[in-house]
Structure 1
Amino acid sequence: PQRIVLVTPATRQELQSGTASALTAYLVKPLRAASLAARLAGPPEVTAPSLVEQSLAEQSLAEQSLAEETLTEAAMAPAVTSRGLSVLVAEDNEINALLMRSLLTRLGHQAVIATSGEEALESWLAAKSAGTPYDLVLMDIQMPGLDGIEATKRIRVHEAAGAGRRTPILALTANTLVEDRYACFEAGMDGFLVKPLDREKLAEALAGRQLVA
């Protein structure tokens, strides 16, 4: 049988030679469907492949799959007739943050990632002071330290104390309870998106609020 280990990019090089010899292959997380399909379609190998060769093969498969996805989405997407949005994404989970950045980029927008409520507030203040305020904030509710609810309240306090356009803020949450939604609106949020988030839901949220300038 094939013996495949799943590793992260950071731990890939930590595979010991004795351990690697007992494996037939490894796959890098987050796992891509094309990489998994290619690995399972191939014949089992007696020994593990070279880490360098495997890394190059994985990179080639990933680049090819990404190129195919990009071309497919570009063909299906409507023509962009206006500039993209400048979006601040407050998300402490690295994978979720990368997913959000990818979704926004493919929709034609620019994303800035903040990994905490404090960082999100500082980034929002810096952008406003520079005269380039964000068009939208996607705010995760549960973050360590300053959470999304409190960060939103502080943003609204700053807005109330000065002039300028009100920044739309949408909550990112896995909770769908009524009290959670109420807390979001009480904090001054304009809506919410339920995680895990997909491209269609995000596009609908942006179009529904007519955020594209």
Structure 2
Amino acid sequence: MYYGFKVGPFARMTYLDGTKTFEEAIATDPKYEQPMMVRASTDFAYSQIEDALAKGHISQSHYDKTVALIPLPTPLAPNISSDDVNNVIVGINNKMEYSIDESTTYLPYTTPFDLSGNHTVKVRVMAVSGVSNSSLDTVLTFTTNPVTPIAPVVTNDDVTNTVTGMTTGMEYKLDSAEYVAYDATTFNGIDFSGEHTLLVRVSAEGINPASADTTLIFTTN
């Protein structure tokens, strides 16, 4: 292509000064037309190109072709964050779009949506036709939230020194001892007569922590 010493001056005389028309430049060599529009799209401000059209220095056709060549800016990635407890995106708005996990399709953001579980979300500012490209992505990671079980429903009979409601998946702590996983045979062999404090809770499992304790008190009969 002709990006020689004449392209720049021809573009300036045509767009800015109005002292040379496209027709005159093309008469010199038809191959100057495209390079002149490319030079104008990169060297001149959008307002200068609009002014050239308004003053009749260039035609509507050359204006449209030149504007189409202007490189659009790519905005920075949006300043947003993940709330991994409430499973929502903080700072997202309706000028943004997102894709979830492996999807290559971006959806426009409209209302908050639930991101419970394990997800990777890419968020970007949407492109504006003729103004800007889509922004770079901000990548957010969501993880499965731990669930704390409620304290187990177990009761004791301080007369018969027995405990009702124990099941597999629970653990207990008798007085100053450590927590022990519930086993029916072992547990049924414990003598609760006398002064004792028994703490019972649902055992931790995976990412889920142990529950709060249910406290059972035994006294000397």
TM over 0.5, shorter chain: no
Structure number with higher strand proportion: 2
Which has more radius of gyration?
A: 2
TM range (shorter): under 0.3
The answer to which structure has the higher helix fraction is: 1
TM-score normalized with structure 2 length: 0.21
Q: Which has the higher contact order (CA 8 A, sep 6+)?
A: 1
